[in-house]
Amino acid sequence: MEQILTRVNLQNDVFSAIDNWRQHLNQRVLGQANLIDRLLIAVICDGHLLIEGAPGLAKTKIIRELAAGLDARFKRIQFTPDLLPGDITGSDIYSPEKSTFDFQPGPIFNQFILADEINRAPAKVQSALLEAMEERQVSVGNTTYKLPDLFLVMATQNPIEQEGTYPLPEAELDRFLLYVKIDYPEAKYESKIVELARNEAMQKTQHDLSSMEVISQTNIFAARDQVLNLHMSPALSQYIVELVLATRTPERYGQDLKQWIRHGASPRATIGLDRAARAHAWLHKREYVTPEDIQSVISDVLRHRIILTYAAMADGVVTDDVVRSIVSRIAIP
């Protein structure tokens, strides 16, 4: 009995620590509660996040604040067409004094990476980042270097400007756990954002952490274990499978879906939907997963994993429309 109470208290302590930081982030970055939740889901699920949104929506600030709250190393990388793989991974530098080559780590060896405008990087740079994201390691020459246990890439794409960009291949898109689209904050937040920015300028600081304790990274690893052990009924597990399978066999659910979908989602989508739904339930302090948890994250999990036909694009159909149609046609257990 004592062991059970100790475990429950530990779970409550972990949740309280992360939830307090979640509330602090919402006070520091106004009007982006959905993005903050998705970023926390990615951290808890040990995944990566792709964000599409216009400039000036506090994407950099959110991940910088999150890294500061976890006492984690943060690095922003601005992707440009002239970027080289070694600019990200690091490279062997010749040392005349020792007559040897010494490895100088690149920015990828930090724990939180903001890959800003990732679609401006050429294919070689994208492939170097792909190994880091998937294998959690970097290969330079004949040597492989391990990345930190706590490692997250938050990549951004600018939906406005497309000149000089390199569309991400499907294999790389599949490595992102979530693909989140964000919009401008609601009008009710705009004046508060101006006031917050003015106060920060007066304080001459971007990070006022005096009112918030830095939480231990062990809380993140503990939260990951709790999420994996969260209860999900067999019926809901099958529901997730059916949702993903519907993207591969759309003809079973309607002729329109068959005309819209060229390629469906891979098994990574099934795994990602399971993990993200569990994390969503955990963040809402539930000990079990509900259908609403699955439906809340399904668009972010499948948005970048469904390839549409030319007919769908010509008709103005987007992947979110397809996902909504699939959800509406599969019975909720």
Where is pLDDT greater, at 211 or 39?
39
Paired tokens of 101 = 């080559």
Q: Is the confidence at residue 161, as pLDDT, over 80?
A: no
Report the alpha-carbon distance of residue 41 to residue 283 in Å, rounded: 8
Residue 9: its pLDDT value, please?
A: 52
Residue 194: its pLDDT value, please?
A: 84
Average pLDDT over residues 46-70: 89
Question: 8 pLDDT band (50/70/90 cuts)?
Answer: low
Q: What is the pLDDT of residues 248-270, one digit of tens each?
A: 999 999 999 999 999 999 999 99
Please provide the distance, in angstroms rounded to a whole number, between the alpha carbons at the two ends of the chain.
34
CB 276 within 8 A of CB 294: no
Report the alpha-carbon distance of residue 304 to residue 172 in Å, rounded: 10
Report the share of the chain in percent with pLDDT over 90.
Answer: 54
Question: 150 pLDDT band (50/70/90 cuts)?
Answer: very high
Q: Where do the H-state alpha helices sit in 90-122?
A: none
Q: What is the pLDDT of residues 77-133, one digit of tens each?
A: 999 888 898 999 998 888 888 878 888 999 999 999 999 988 888 888 888 888 888
- Cβ-Cβ contacts under 8 Å for 50 (sequence gap 6 or more): 118, 154, 155, 156, 157, 173, 176, 178, 179, 180, 304
